[in-house]
Amino acid sequence: MDVKIRRDFFNMLVHSIASYACEIWVDSKKIEAIEVVYRRFFKSLLEVRKTTNISIMLAKFGKFYFEHFAWGQLLLYYNHVSMLTKDHILGKAWEVELVMLTTGKKCWAKSVKQWLFKN
């Protein structure tokens, strides 16, 4: 099968499932597990050695590391939710997140904030 067709199937079947709602569940351990799948796929697709640099292969296909995609989605979602008003259901959920954040409770906004200031 043609390399481009196999890549397109991967994008349609694997990437779409792996990235579903990643703005909510994103964390380094889960991302690393997905990156392993990506590395194996692209290396087998191009029939290169296991030691070949993944950045070169991703560039060949105009792709980025899954981590960059996932954190980008998270930032877009964070920005969207933070702009909502209280009359929107997600705006109400955002208000609850902010209360949890200020009281030090574990919440999604806290993990995003920790990641932002860590990187």
Report the predicted TM-score, pTM, of the whole model to 2 decimal places. Answer: 0.77
Whether residues 56 and 89 fall in one domain: no
Kindly tell me if the per-residue pLDDT of 20 is higher than 80: yes
- Retrieve residue 47's tokens: 């029939």
Whether residues 62 and 88 fall in one domain: no
User: Has residue 74 been placed in a domain?
Assistant: no
User: Has residue 88 been placed in a domain?
Assistant: yes
Number of domains within the chain = 2
DSSP line for 57-100: HHHHTT---HHHHHHHHHHHHHHHHHT--TTSHHHHHHHHHHHH
Q: What is the largest CA-CA distance in the chain?
A: 55
Arithmetic mean of pLDDT, 33-37? 91
Q: Cβ distance 54 to 42 under 8 Å?
A: yes
Whether residues 94 and 62 fall in one domain: no
Arithmetic mean of pLDDT, 25-50? 88
Q: State the pLDDT at residue 119.
A: 60
User: Has residue 50 been placed in a domain?
Assistant: yes
Which structural domain, as residue segments, surrounds residue 114? 84-118
Summarize pLDDT for 46-58 with one digit per residue, the tens. 888 888 888 888 8
User: Has residue 78 been placed in a domain?
Assistant: no
Summarize pLDDT for 97-111 with one digit per residue, the tens. 999 999 989 888 888
